[in-house]
Amino acid sequence: MTSCGKDWAVGLIAAIKDSKNHVISSDIAVVIPDKYPKAKHHYLVLPKGDIPDIFHLKLSNLPMLQELYLLAQNVIEVKRCHMDDFQIGFHAQPSMQRLHLHVISKDFVSDCLKTKKHWASFNTELFLPYQDAYARLEMEGCIKPLAKERVQELGGSELICNQCEFVAKNMPDLKRHLYDHWMEKQ
């Protein structure tokens, strides 16, 4: 039992203990595939050290963050993909323990992408790009959570395509549209 009483919330800690899950690793961090990928490529970069989330980061963690980003770039290379096709960042309101950097392709074509909340978590202020997180930590010495009301508001945002001006009526509509973008590129 964890301090917050949610066993599922420590699933990532269990996942990184099994080296079979490691796509790549270094002395201080590992990359694993996201178990419920929200796009064609979706990886998580986690430090081996016990840092629960972005809200526990301190100035002294800046070099560790750089290492996470280096591994994020490495996994994109290893998968023979291009940086421009990816977004790299943290969820501003994470649900799982152990700090994790998302490395996700921008197609968002996946059966696991189901809810408006999923979409918003990568395509609104709920997604904190690595560079912004780094800059905020460097300037302010910590990263603070968004207000609860703001998180709720963002979770219900309009479904605006990340590749054009299209506004979808609902998730099935958005998913069809994203699939068409992806097909055009094949």
> Which residues of this chain interact with ligand AMP, rule CB under 6 A?
11-12, 15, 32, 34-36, 44, 91, 94-96, 100
CB of 58 to Zn ion, least distance (A): 40
Q: Of 100, 102, 177, 181, which residue is the catalytic one?
A: 100
Smallest separation (angstroms) from Zn ion to the CB of 119: 13
Asked if 64 is part of the footprint of Zn ion (rule: CB under 5 A), the reply reads no
- Helical axes 171-184 vs 116-123, angle rounded to 10°: 50
89 binds, among ligand AMP, Zn ion, none (CB under 5 to 8 A by kind): none
Tokens coding 36: 């419920």
Binding mask 103-142 for Zn ion (x = CB under 5 A): ----------------------------------------
Compute the least distance from the CB of residue 15 to ligand AMP, in Å: 4
In the list 26, 73, 124, 163, the residue contacting Zn ion (rule: CB under 5 A) is: 163
Residue with smaller CB distance to ligand AMP, 68 or 96? 96
Instruction: Choose which of 91, 161, 171, 182 interacts with Zn ion (CB under 5 A).
Output: 161
Look up tokens 């796509």; give the residue.
23
Residue 100 annotated to the active site? yes
Known catalytic residues are 100
Which positions touch Zn ion (CB under 5 A)? Answer: 161, 163-164, 166
